[in-house]
Structure 1
Amino acid sequence: MPIEKTKWPPVLAVLVLAPWFAEMSWGGYPLTDIPVILLFVGPLYGGAALLIREVARRTGRGWPTIVLLGAAFGVLQAGLVDQSLFNPAYDRYDFQHPVHVDGLDISLYYLLAFVAGHVVASIVAPIAVAECWSRRGSEPWLTRRSRSWVAGVYVLATVINHFGVKDEVGHGFQAEPVQMAAAAAAVAVLVVAALRWRPRPATDVRVPGPLVVAGLGFGAYLLYLPGENAAALVFGVFVLLLAVVVLGTWSRSRRWTADHTVALIAGSVLVGVVVPFWSEPYDDSVGAAQELAADVAAATVCLVIVVSTAYRRRSLRSGASAAPTRRALPRPG
């Protein structure tokens, strides 16, 4: 679908929302660090989200392709770029347990946490919110030239992130060849599955209202990993599979609307209103007062995003319903 110029407002929105949802919506960052983090991580997460969306929209594919490519990005980022999936001493965290797998030296728990987190927060949520605000939500946003710029900036950000993480929090760690090969193979499988995905026939399955869908999105994202142990992993896999089956069934129905999609994503974004207050700060040197200020700011921003997006969706829907009436008026003279 040819476009005359780059749609910069939604593009910039994705570049800001992707790092916000993925990193800062959890709270704990000093407020003065937020601009630097956005500048550092925005081209990385936001660039990936824009390229993934462009592939899906230009090839006429929908959310399943975006989700699968988002999973590929999650494996790429955690397995090959920052290598946190394999690093036994990543900053002050132990990402090797629980449910450690010998040989590859990974934790299945954190494999699920990292990939699912990137799918929802880094890719799907920023795209959905930006599309809601755009009057051309289903169209490509990038020209050939801007695609090249976004791809180049993303590659540069990836290289900087890889070496920056290795020096600052990775303690010089380098994944083994077998680990990198396994991650690369998983990325390749997910990309092929995404590009070979074909739409399924529409159905007339009954779908609950948007508010119910929003509640399910909130609960699933908030509680899909209720602890840090093997039982939590089993529960998380169950929730993930259930979400795939239920949402896959509902979204194929002719009764599923854009309002349901927005409600589902709004539910996941609302997790950022409560999670900051029980999560540990990323920077353990942050004092109690600074942490509270950062948590309140993170929660407030997420709430404002949800409320303003719902209002925007309502305004666009009202405008669309009024447009035929205006065109039907007789021309003067």
Structure 2
Amino acid sequence: MTLRSTLLTASIVAFIAGAAHAEDWFPYKAMKTEPPFATDGKQEEVSYMPLAKASQPWKICVSFPHMKDAYWLGVDYGVVDEAKRLGVSMNLLNAGGYTELNTQISQIEDCVANGAQAVVIGAISFDGLNNLVTEINKKGIPVIDVVNGISSPNVTAKSLVSFYTMGQSAGEYLAKKHPAGSKEVKVGWFPGPAGAGWVEAANRGFLDAVKGSALKVLDAKYGDTGKEVQQKLVEDVLQANPDIGYVAGTAVTAEAAQGVIRERGLQGKVDLMAFYMTPGVYEGIKRGFILAAPADSMVIQGRIAIDQAVRILEKKDYIKHVGPKIFVVDQQNVNSVPRTSILPPDDFKPVFKVN
């Protein structure tokens, strides 16, 4: 079967938003980057179709930065459910946080030593895994870069969205509300852990999008995406800037800031904006506590990464650089967007092994 026949353009195949059931998440509206891995590559809309089944129970190793928040729980659901659907073995590793690069490297090394036939990495650092990727590549083991981004040219495939576009989408949403010439509004900006590829990309996208608007973005406050870290950063910025109009940043920032805003009686004075979606952000938007957030369909990124790994192992056609199409969810459309197209089921608990 050719790539043309398996990955039809969206104009030919109708887009199914992607339900929670593995059987019918596809086809999914996605964006392919050409040439692959190019920062200035052109994006082309495709309708992603995975394989029906793997030819054998391949051993796939998956590494995440942490499982501290609902975002990575969503990616976990994607890789777990797709591994089950395809009939492959999956072992998921949790490094423990964005400060734990050495842990992530050693965990992956151990997984490869124990017979992993493909490795899917949600990277802690954009550049810090490059030597490891090269070593794995030399063994003939495919490496799939999922969600966060790795700068190494030796990765085999990428299943991710442009976090530049995610940050840009959030910035554009706010900039439209405060065009040039209107009253200046201060924005506290919390892009996430310094040095992570997705954070730096989102930071550039957000700042580029607000240029020329009436928004004044305060100096970025970087920090791990643990709730306590983000809450403390928000409290400090609010203390130093009582006239702030927005708190914008990671999904954890927006989730943590809801309680701070309520406690300080700032509802209606300080609005919250996230540059990616989690269940907590989704519920916050529904309840009117969070303004909006772009959705990157993290579940689908996990699913595609597993499908790419199997396609590569079976020497079948695959898209080297692809990710779900981004769209913004706000209080106007939140009730019409199927929750299961962008988030894991409510009752999903972390799963680390699929046999």
TM range (shorter): under 0.3
Greater length-normalized contact order (CA 8 Å, ≥ 6 residues apart): 1
Which structure dedicates a bigger proportion of its chain to strand?
Answer: 2
TM-score (norm: length of structure 2): 0.25
Bigger helix fraction: 1
